Structure 1
Amino acid sequence: MKVIAIDIDSSRVIIYAIELLDDGTISNITGDFKSITIKDDYDNSEIREFQSTIHSFFDNLNPTKIAVLKRMTKGKFAASPVSFKLEGLIQCYQNCDVQFVSPLTLNAFYKKNVSTIELQNKYQTNAARLAQYLIS
């Protein structure tokens, strides 16, 4: 089983991909593709390049599951509008359904389970936690 977990932070998409091997071990398959940042969300070519790049990454891994960590839509801590544009482009991927997981669901999961994922970078923490949740 291969899963891709995505955490969107403003105009940056943070990715963590893992695979559950036959012997029960978990392998990080993210590779060099750790995040993508959009500089100008009004630049059509940059948006098309983002979609092409991320969908190619998905195609190369051929995941069983893809999930995005939900963000707040309203209130003081609401996510940026750009993040929802990027989310929509990710959802356009046709070879695998993209699901959404609430941070509350993750918190409940980690009250009963311990994170065993080794991080390459600290900023991947939320995506890595989501990946482990998806694979268990």
Structure 2
Amino acid sequence: MRVCGCEISAREVRLAVVCLNDGGNIEILRLKTTRIELEDDTSDADLRSFLRALHEFSSENEIDTFVIKTRAKKGRMAGGAVSFKIEALIQLVEGCETRFVSPVALSHFAKKEVENYPEKMPVYMKNAFLSGAYVLTRG
């Protein structure tokens, strides 16, 4: 099973594809595409292009499930309108399930169950990796 952890930030989604290796350990796949950006959220063409890029990414990498780190809908730390459009587009990817995980659950998971992060993993992919690893290990 391949899981793609997603962290939505501003106008882009950061993607980390994880799976279990033969030893039962979490492994991050080294992929060329780690981010997809939505150029103009008011353009039909750009929205369709973003969705097409997600479809291609999921197909090429045999993604079973997308996992999105949730964002607040109200208050000081609320996600922006564009980020919720991106979230909806991820949910529209055919053939893939979409699940959500809270920042609190990720923090607890990182402290209690993640001993080491993969070597040379960029810092900007940490939350996407944690999201995917969380669902992969917790079902």
Which residue number in structure 2 is paired with residue 134 of structure 1?
Answer: 135
Counterpart Cα distance in 1 of 2:61 and 2:97? 14
**How large is the Cα RMSD of the aligned pairs?**
1.6
Q: Does the alignment pair 1:41 with 2:41?
A: yes
SS at match of 1:14: strand
Gaps of 5+ in 1: none
Q: Name the counterpart of 1:84.
A: 84
**Mapped partners of 2:114, 2:79: distance in 1:** 28
User: What does the per-residue CA deviation read over 1:29-55, in whole Å, with 9 as the maximum and x for residues that have no partner?
Assistant: 250111112221111111111000111
Letter in 2 for 1:77: M
Cα pair distance change 1:108/1:120, threshold 3 Å: closer
Quick one: distance in 1 between partners of 2:78 and 2:27?
Answer: 33
- For 1:17, what is the secondary structure of its paired residue? strand
Cα distance in 1 for partners of 2:30, 2:44 equals 27
2:104 match: secondary structure: helix
Determine the structure 2 residue equivalent to 1:122: 123
Match of 2:4 in 1: 4
Q: Post-superposition shift, 1:63? A: 2.4
Task: Provide TM-score, normalisation by structure 1.
Answer: 0.90
Percent identity over the alignment?
30
Query: Which residues of structure 2 form unaligned runs of 5+?
Result: none
Counterpart check, 1:69 vs 2:69 = yes
TM-score by length of 2: 0.88
Deviating above 4 A after TM superposition, structure 1's stretches of 4 or more consecutive aligned residues are none
